[in-house]
Amino acid sequence: MNIEQLRDEFEKTKKVYDCALIKFIGVEGFDVYNCSIPFVWNGNKYIYGRVEKRDEWARSWVRLFKETDKDEFTLVKESMIYQLEDPYIAEIGGELVLGGTHVPYRCGEPNSFSGYFYRGKDLEDLFYFTTGPDGMKDIRLVELPEGIGIFSRPNGRVGFTMISDINELNDEVISNAKIIDMFDENEYGGCNQCYYLGGSLIGVIAHQAYSNCPNMIHYINISCVYDYKADKVLDKKVIGTITCYPHVDGSKKVPGKPERDMSDVSFSSGIVLRNDGKVDLYSGLCDVCEGRITIDDPFSEYRQ
């Protein structure tokens, strides 16, 4: 089945146990969306969020927020400010790795983009250490027994490769990642958060996009399992759509581009495993806010 058929089947049978919009305090007048997953560091729970004004585009910052209540995060005012979009985090070798998309400007206009990576153990002192290929976003890392897995995203496809040490991460290594069979020829998307499940299996939370009319783009939350030794994608499925979250009006997000209706965009952040065995799936919504839904664990039968 193509992605629209998979979505139709999901809408008929979906199970959503809870949903909420995430509240961000300390950045009044700005939207916060396309966040990292919440993570615990030195005993506190944090989240990195993309901070941007509603009437602007490609002029965002990534800021650190600390959990202060259920579904509520407050700006850590003294934290570093990163000129990035769409942050994500991974723990590699006892360090936190922060990645995001940097959009350089030329003569006042956005000029391509690339992935920037920071690392360290002190959230107040992460240091920039490498850059991904020009024109590529949504590069994701995952720590494995044999090294570090890298998921790339060249032209809306997904590639995979491995390195033995974080210091080997560079644009050439990422560019040479082998394309894996995650999307059909006319589909596109990318990985958002990856989890080592045991053996040779990696759980992948991703987004998939399609367009079936000139005015609207559709982004949905998907998952799959990648067997990196067998080079096989297993159990690809839809796990969330905009209909699962509280209503958001995002149809007017992109300034100067009224033809881009963003009201059906759910850009996956990733999942957090709960004590009851279910997971909380976090997602950017309509390029204006971040949402959470509680769903069954898409990797329950693969965890080892």
Q: In the chain, how many domains are there?
A: 1
Q: Are strands 23-25 and 72-75 parallel, antiparallel or unpaired?
A: parallel
| Least confident segment among 84-88, 144-148, 210-214 | 210-214
Lowest mean pLDDT among 14-18, 258-262, 300-304: 258-262
pLDDT value of residue 19: 98
Domain membership of residue 301 (yes or no) is no
Confirm whether 54 is domain-assigned.
Answer: yes
For residue 304, is it within any domain? no
pLDDT per position as a tens digit, 254-265: 655 555 788 899
User: Of 8-12, 72-76, 140-144, 251-255, where does mean pLDDT reach its minimum?
Assistant: 251-255
Which whole number is the average pLDDT over 203-222? 90
- Per-residue pLDDT at 12 exceeds 60: yes
CATH of the domain at 66: 2.115.10.20
User: pLDDT at position 256, please?
Assistant: 52
Among residues 92, 201, 206, 198, the alpha carbon closest in space to that of 141 is found at: 92
Give the tokens for residue 60.
Answer: 């965002």
Q: How confident is the model at residue 199 (pLDDT cuts 50, 70, 90)?
A: very high
Asked whether residue 276 is domain-assigned, the answer is yes
**222 within domain boundaries:** yes
Rounded to the nearest integer, the mean pLDDT of the chain is 94
pLDDT tens track for 75-131? 999 999 999 999 999 999 999 999 999 999 888 888 899 999 999 999 989 999 999
What does pTM read for this prediction? Answer: 0.96
pLDDT for 226: 98
In a domain, 302, yes or no: no
Segments forming the whole domain that contains residue 110: 3-295
